[in-house]
Amino acid sequence: MNTLLTKVLLLQNTRALLCAASSLQSQVLTTQMPLGVLLTNRQYRSMPTHGIGKYRHLLPKALPKKKKDRVQAKQIKAATATEFGVFNVCVSGYDMTLVEHYSQYIHNLCNHLDIKVDESCALPTKSTEVMVMQEQGTKMYVDAVLKTHERIVQISEMKATLFPIFMEVVLKNQPEGVRLCVKQHTEADYQARFKTRPELEGLLAKIHN
């Protein structure tokens, strides 16, 4: 009898608990939670995965940009008893492709022979007008415009014993229609690299005067 009574009591208690739980669940579903509680309850902030994907703290600090200084001419090295100073290998012609490829060939040859190349640059293109006079008349008209392209390969500290070999190879591979000139580098050659601006020079002259 005692066991039967205990079983009956347990069944009643479980039914009562189930009823209470169902009533609580229905109340929770029917009641509306405030919006502020849902937004402020952010449990993931305390998780160990917080901060994944952030990389800006790993990058080095960017230095402030400096203003570009004006390009100044370098000091010209003097020649010694065994080495040449600074000299220019000038390549010019009317065909820009030939001039460009020949200057690249000279530059690559210097790299192959361990010859120091200070810089390789292009001079402003020069235009020459070819004028022709009419057979019966005194007026002249432009028949053609020739554009001269020039490239410079600046070399320094070349050994005197290597210079004849270098010139022999360069002259043997000189293409047709391309002029080659080797001369000592001067400050006037450096200034010739830049285009003249007469209007700006005139305004500067007026300001200084």
Q: Which CATH number covers residue 178?
A: 3.30.70.600
Strand partners, 147: 127
Task: Please report whether residue 22 resides in a domain.
Answer: no
Res. 37: pLDDT tops 50:
no
Average pLDDT rounded to a whole number, residues 170-180 = 93
Task: Please report whether residue 187 resides in a domain.
Answer: yes
Task: Please report whether residue 175 resides in a domain.
Answer: yes
Task: Please report whether residue 140 resides in a domain.
Answer: yes
Average pLDDT rounded to a whole number, residues 8-25 = 66
Residue 93 belongs to domain spanning: 88-196
Task: Please report whether residue 171 resides in a domain.
Answer: yes
Chain-centre distance for alpha carbon 136: 58
CB 109 within 8 A of CB 166: yes
- What does the angle CA 117 – CA 123 – CA 125 come to, to the nearest 5 degrees? 150
Average pLDDT rounded to a whole number, residues 128-145 = 84
Average pLDDT rounded to a whole number, residues 71-76 = 67
Q: How many CA atoms lie within 13 A of 181 on its CB side?
A: 11
Task: Please report whether residue 123 resides in a domain.
Answer: yes
Name which of 191, 180, 179, 161 is nearest 73 in CA terms. 191
Task: Please report whether residue 122 resides in a domain.
Answer: yes
**Sign, CA torsion 73/78/84/90:** positive
pLDDT at res. 191: 78
Q: What pTM was computed for the model? A: 0.58
Task: Please report whether residue 54 resides in a domain.
Answer: no
Res. 107: pLDDT tops 70:
yes
pLDDT at res. 106: 94
Task: Count structural domains, the chain.
Answer: 1
